[in-house]
Amino acid sequence: MGILWSYFLGMLMLIFSISSIIAGIFTAYFGSGRSRAVGGVLIAIGIVVLVFFLGYAGLISIGVEPLFKGTVTNGVVSVIGAIVGALIALGIFLAAIMKA
């Protein structure tokens, strides 16, 4: 598998699972009736995808061959670097706007 595809698939699975779990928690907590059930389904889907992500990353053994072992760390560090850079730029922008 190509290195770019490995980064793409790893980050897709990680971010999808985290987002699904967080959205499910909010939906289950603030929703009522069917919304709570949808929140539970979102949490379950997020957990299943997270388990597959951890298996393909080689962090747990679920009987699959690790496809992106080692690239996950690089991808997570890249995403964190991008977020920190964006927050610094946002801070500078807000400081400039408030001074003007």
Which residue ranges make up each domain of the chain?
Answer: 3-99
User: Are the C-beta atoms of 11 and 4 separated by less than 8 Å?
Assistant: no
Cα–Cα distance, 53 to 21 (Å, whole number): 14
User: With bands split at pLDDT 50, 70 and 90, how would you rate the model's confidence at 100?
Assistant: low
The model carries a pTM of 0.70
Q: What is the pLDDT of residues 3-35, one digit of tens each?
A: 777 778 888 888 899 899 999 999 899 888 888
Q: What does the pLDDT look like over 37-92, one tens digit per residue?
A: 999 999 999 999 999 988 888 878 888 787 777 777 777 777 888 889 989 999 99
